[in-house]
Amino acid sequence: MPFLGPWLYWVLGINRVQRRAVRLFWKRGRLGSPTSAESRENAARDESNLLGSLGALRDTADRVTRLPLVSGNALTPLHNGEEAYPAMLGAIRFAQRSVTLASYIFDWDDVGREFCEVLTAAARRGVRVHVLLDGIGALGSWSRVGRRLISAGAKVAPFFPLRFPLGRLRINLRNHRKILVVDGRRGFTGGMNISHRHWMNTSNPNRCEDLHFQLEGPVVAQLQHVFAEDWMLAADDHLEGDAYFPPLSNQGTALCRGIAGGPDEDSENVEWILMAAFAAAQRTIRLATPYFIPTITLIRSMILAVLRGVQVTLILPSHVDLPFMRWAADAYLWQILLRGVRVFRRPTPFVHTKLCVVDERWTLLGSANLDPRSFRLNFEFNVEAYDPSLAARLAKWMDSQTVESEAVTLEAVDARPIPQRLRDGFVKLFSPHL
């Protein structure tokens, strides 16, 4: 393709994306560590009780991530919009100093309008409100959300807005993070956007299940830290001071670390952390993801865990909002089923949950899917937590999901009609950009 090929590479080229991201971030400058020396020292003291056999996983994360492991945190799972949105809206209503919100999607529906109202009210009573919306994910609602918030005194910025000069679509470098921090003390993150789709008690045919988390303790400063870096890049504005980074006291017993992943990082942090977790696991690995486009190294890590006697369970949706993502996933499943990985497909509606629980001791939560776009093309944010009580609770919930799901067998995957297998294999060719 002598004419189309160079244009496609200019739009999609992975190396160009990484070079540009690194150049832009270092041009703005990295922020210093937001975590106090006391929190890091407390984490070192508490490690022996919470790490168990996962010390090697901690060592790996220390080397491939920028933020330290900190102690004294509390995490609360929030299922779907019915639990997450009231907690988030309530926190904003009582905000006194600052609200920072980053979302990939901010739909202009009843949920989006309610968020816009409480953010507007907070800005009008003097709270410093900063809203960062992805330039493509929130494109449809940008004008309405942005106008209302700016008129109330809030600051709103698009992250790499859509432009088309000289063939540059900017379809990569998307900010897929979901972060809300109120007064620098209470944080929310996970897989949930601002959208009516996450309300399950509706007749919306496009509704989807999801899982979000409320965080309290020193790790909240790491959520704020990542938001501040993104805000500095998008708005050229530096956030600092007690309004955003107040002193934080212990709120629980969990050891946590924020993991910022994206094309500006030195390595694919999320993928490295997952491979380290699979290697450290002794008994069980439970995974849930809406999109499963694994790298060959991730497949081998899962298989090696099975060969060591670890039970590996993968939960996928049966209905996927982007059908070609399921087609590509189906082309990969035979490799892990052949070696004993258990795979389940949840019934409709679409399940958007992203979660990993290892040995009922360690949890990885956040915005990243198990696909190349999350590993190296999008800006993602995850949190790792060493908290046996939380991990056991989530493991029990994931087991209940498998009871209601359909087990996928190697025989069923091999029995796909030839046209379907050809279609799945063709889509798989585009895996590096899915």
396 in active site: no
Instruction: Assess whether 352 carries a catalytic annotation.
Output: yes
Write down the catalytic residue from 359, 371, 387, 424: 359
Of the residues 196, 198, 212, 354, only one is catalytic, namely 354
User: 176, 196, 212, 225: which is the annotated catalytic residue?
Assistant: 176
Q: How many domains does the chain have?
A: 1
What is the CATH classification number for the domain harbouring 384?
Answer: 3.30.870.10
Distance CA 183, CA 99 (A): 6
Tens digit of each residue's pLDDT (9 = 90 or more) over 292-338: 999 999 999 999 999 999 999 999 999 999 999 999 999 999 999 99
What is the C-alpha to C-alpha distance for residues 267 and 376, in angstroms, rounded to an integer?
A: 8
What is the C-alpha separation between 218 and 310, in angstroms, rounded?
33
Beta bridge partners of 130: 100, 155
Confidence of residue 169 (pLDDT cuts 50, 70, 90): low
Task: State the pLDDT confidence band at 41, using cuts at 50, 70 and 90.
Answer: low
pLDDT in tens, 106-159: 999 999 999 999 999 999 999 999 999 988 877 767 778 888 999 999 999 988
Q: Is 359 a catalytic residue?
A: yes
User: What domain range is 122 assigned to?
Assistant: 4-433
Active-site hit among 130, 198, 212, 352? 352
Q: Is 27 a catalytic residue?
A: no
* Whole-structure pTM value: 0.91
Q: Catalytic: 354?
A: yes
Question: Quick check: is 238 catalytic?
Answer: no
Annotated catalytic residue within 130, 178, 198, 225: 178
